[in-house]
Amino acid sequence: MESKILELIQNLTNINSPSGNAYNAISYVKQKVEHLGYSTQLTNKGALIITVEGEDNERQRCITAHVDTLGAMVKEIKEDGRLTIDLIGGFKYNAIEGEYCQIETDSGETYTGTICLHETSVHVYRENEKIPRDIEHMEVRIDEKTSSKKETEDLGIEVGNFISFDPRTEITSSGFIKSRHLDDKASVAMILDLLERIKNEQIKLPHTIQFYISNNEEIGYGANASISNKIVEFIAFDMGALGEGQSSDEYTVSICAKDASGPYHKELKTHLVNLCKFNHIPYKIDIYPYYTSDASAALKAGADIKHGLFGAGIESSHALERTHIDSIHAAQNLLYAYCLSSIN
């Protein structure tokens, strides 16, 4: 079981899927769940919905996780053939300095490159540590023989092409998973593992669940549409934010009490905590100060739901992320217990 969830995480993180171009990741999940025998629905904006029937079809749940990730777009082709980039998602340029990347053209060609500070060489630029890491100074150095705007354009690269970052996924012997985009591909992997368990063990859920794999969460509107009006509880199965002043860690499941959008539903949060206590699942309750989720996006869109959020604790979110298999197991166990619990 452990090797399977780790394989799923590694497979997903290695699929390029920045917000706006998550088609391949959605296709991967769709193929996996259809192979298990589930029917799927693609929304107009490209999200994937897997509905699992339960005993109660009138009071339903939605559990969402997202395959879209941070990324970038070509903003400008410079006169020396390099690329100015514009960011997709909430992060800063310093989080990707020195990172390997791929540029995908509209015809499907891909080129590799490196995201550099223009003034990188210390043998040429003095005090370059003082130079801002911003759109004016950061660029992509393409791994092709190109030294002019025309030569780069001749490759088929143009403004608006998507740029994806090398995830650099590694699994250590001590149980750590290091990778970009664990937010939120670790959660999607856990949902895939759960769906296989439901099918293999012929589990009958107490309530119908709409598993919603969203493709625009990082830009604020992943799962706020195409939601059944029968849904009364909505869970964002996403990452727990770690750092100074936070109680969450890499070894427990993190339950969100409040984020930048405001408090999460008190009764639903209490239900999640009680499930952890009853099932001896290690957990932490936390507040994420600079964070919003697809659950809060659904509320803003007008959904009449109880909303909650929990997931594995992810260190260094929106950069080179890390979690531990203990946190994955805790999040899996809470997800399973929640799906088998009854709505109050």
Q: Which residues are catalytic, by number?
A: 217
By mean pLDDT, which of 200-204, 276-280, 296-300, 329-333 is the weakest? 296-300
Burial class of 8 by CB neighbour count within 10 A (0 to 12, 13 to 18, 19+): buried
Q: Which of 120, 138, 165 is the last residue before a domain boundary?
A: 165
Instruction: Please check whether residues 41 and 152 belong to one and the same domain.
Output: no
Instruction: Please check whether residues 135 and 233 belong to one and the same domain.
Output: no
Nearest to 98 by CA among 77, 113, 80, 78: 113
Instruction: Please check whether residues 200 and 214 belong to one and the same domain.
Output: yes
- Residue 131 CA, distance from chain mean position: 31
The three-state secondary structure class of 275 is: helix
Residue 172 domain-assigned?
no
Instruction: Please check whether residues 81 and 56 belong to one and the same domain.
Output: no
Instruction: Please check whether residues 133 and 86 belong to one and the same domain.
Output: yes
Question: Is 286 annotated for ligand binding?
Answer: no
- Tokens standing for 126? 């003095």
Residue 171 domain-assigned?
no
Average pLDDT, stretch 261-289?
Answer: 98
Instruction: Please check whether residues 189 and 290 belong to one and the same domain.
Output: yes
For the chain, what percent of residues have pLDDT higher than 90?
97
Residue 284 domain-assigned?
yes
Taking the complete model, does pTM exceed 0.95, yes or no? Answer: yes
Question: Is 318 annotated for ligand binding?
Answer: yes
Residue 322's domain comprises 1-69+181-340
Q: How many domains are there within the chain?
A: 2
Question: Is 35 annotated for ligand binding?
Answer: no
Residue 21 domain-assigned?
yes
Mean model confidence pLDDT for the chain: 97
- Tokens standing for 156? 């088929």
Beta partners for residue 18, in sequence order: 69
Whether 201 shows a pLDDT value over 90: the answer reads yes
Question: Is 324 annotated for ligand binding?
Answer: no
Q: Order across the sheet with 176-179: list the strands.
A: 170-171, 176-179, 321-324
Instruction: Please check whether residues 65 and 119 belong to one and the same domain.
Output: no
Q: What is the pLDDT of residues 28-81, one digit of tens each?
A: 999 999 999 999 999 999 999 999 999 999 999 999 999 999 999 999 999 999
Residues 184/17, Cβ–Cβ less than 8 Å: no
pLDDT of res. 1: 58
Question: Is 181 annotated for ligand binding?
Answer: no
Instruction: Please check whether residues 303 and 198 belong to one and the same domain.
Output: yes
Whether 169 shows a pLDDT value over 80: the answer reads yes
